[in-house]
Amino acid sequence: MKYCSTRGGVADLSFVDALLMGLAPDGGLLVPAELPDVTSKLDQWRGLDFISLAQAVIALFVDDIDRPTLDKLIAEAYETFEHPDVIGWQQLDDVDVMELYHGPTLAFKDVALQLLGRLFEHVLGERQQHLNILGATSGDTGGAAIAGVRGQDNIDIFILFPEGKVSPLQELQMTTVADANVHCVAVQGSFDDCQSLMKEIFADLEFKAEFQLGAVNSVNWARVMAQIVYYGYASLRYERAPAFCVPTGNFGNVFAAFLAKEMGFPIDRLLVATNENDILARFFATGEYARGDVHFTLSPAMDIQVASNFERFLYYYFDKDTARLKEFMHAFSSRGHASLDGPPDARFMQATAVTTEQTLTAVKDVHEQFNYVLDPHTAVGYAAAQVFKRNVDAPLVCVATAHPAKFPDAVKQAAANAPANHPALDALVGLPARKEVIPATVEAVKKVIIEHARGFSA
């Protein structure tokens, strides 16, 4: 399996090279040169448990780590999850909830980042290299990434997050980690600012090379690769192809579902749920991808106006026409908007935006009717599912992205008597925390890296 950039400037990379590169030097995102077709394997895969299916699917994308080692890394990654089959299920009348939050940091990001940390550790050990990871988080990626690499001698991790705009418990999951290789950086701005700073620094190829920078955000292909598995696994549980309703911010989670369908897993359609930051809902309705003001909501991981993985979707939507893609992305970068000729012909993808009021109502109604608690991000997906289900003749699965205990204030605002706690989070309160607060400038981020990075060739 070889990898290339969505913008055409990089090709013929091995998986390991793609893993370490993260963001391509031409500013694009790395994707497989060809997607595997799994249709002939579905019958034999239907009876597999989650870990066994993960080993089978991921091996299709990784041919430069020997299979026994790869299988071992995958098994070790998912042994850290509380649920015996990694992901959980809850039936709420005519909507099923796929619980992806049973990992160490109680977020769906753990599914990919527990594996990514082990892949990094193995590859860097083999190559005797050091990596300085730079990531940006709107909440969950930071804690999950830190949990995946904390304490590793050959990695330092620098996580940018918007000061005051992640939940208090999400911040504690990052800032209370005492390992010396963990560096938490609070940026005075929005998540989009954090993501923009990260991308600008990666675009400085001299600095990236000097400080051996790598990525853990979903710009890293391995993140998306690992997330394909749970959509494939879920699709094989049903007699009829299900539809997935996915709460979406950076488009990585729903893009993994898109790839699963493209590979041949039985998926009816994908329903994209956004909050008031509705850039994606507007695109699927009109064909215009236009940046707006960031709205800070009860679902902070979705408070995003620039969805980085959207470029990967466009690459396939444009039939891998890198010139057309570059023109579209240049227009968006320079003007803040870019357009198709009309609404996209994305037949199996639909999108809608959900308000804060609808989110709170979803949490309240589900708790009252089913004695089940949704976190505010999952509630966005559930509220959207109620809109979509009138027109969907397929089993409907809402993707649960985080444990409600991570957002107790939002849960209590919706349903005062709903339980919203977890022992792992309760234990963080009162622990010593450390972070460095900086202005939203490239120079400030680089200064932190220069002061704390190890293993670079300066």
Give the number of other CB atoms < 10 A from CB of residue 43: 9
Report CA-CA distances (Å) from 261 to 300, 317, 363: 28, 14, 30
Give the number of other CB atoms < 10 A from CB of residue 180: 11
**How many angstroms separate the CA atoms of 407 and 171, rounded?**
11
**How many angstroms separate the CA atoms of 445 and 23, rounded?**
18
Q: Is residue 120 a contact partner of residue 149, using CB atoms and an 8 Å limit?
A: yes
> Which amino acid would we find at residue 50?
F
Strands (E), 177-249: 182-188, 213-214, 243-247
Q: Each residue of 212-249: b (16+ CB within 10 Å) or e? A: bbbbbbbbbbbbbbbbbbbbbbbbbeeeeebbbbbbbb
Residue in this structure with the two tokens 């590169």, named with its chain if needed: 21
At residue 56, the 3 state secondary structure works out as helix
> Which amino acid would we find at residue 436?
E
Kindly state the tokens that stand for 1: 């399996």
32 strand-pairing partners: 3
Q: Is residue 132 a contact partner of residue 158, using CB atoms and an 8 Å limit?
A: yes
* Residues near 51 by beta carbon (within 8 Å), at least 6 away in sequence: 74, 75, 78, 86
**How many angstroms separate the CA atoms of 297 and 418, rounded?**
20
**How many angstroms separate the CA atoms of 177 and 433, rounded?**
8
Task: Verify whether residue 109 is a known catalytic residue.
Answer: yes
| Catalytic residue of the set 2, 72, 109, 320 | 109
Q: Terminal CA-to-CA distance of the chain, rounded, Å? A: 34
Cite the active site residues.
Answer: 109
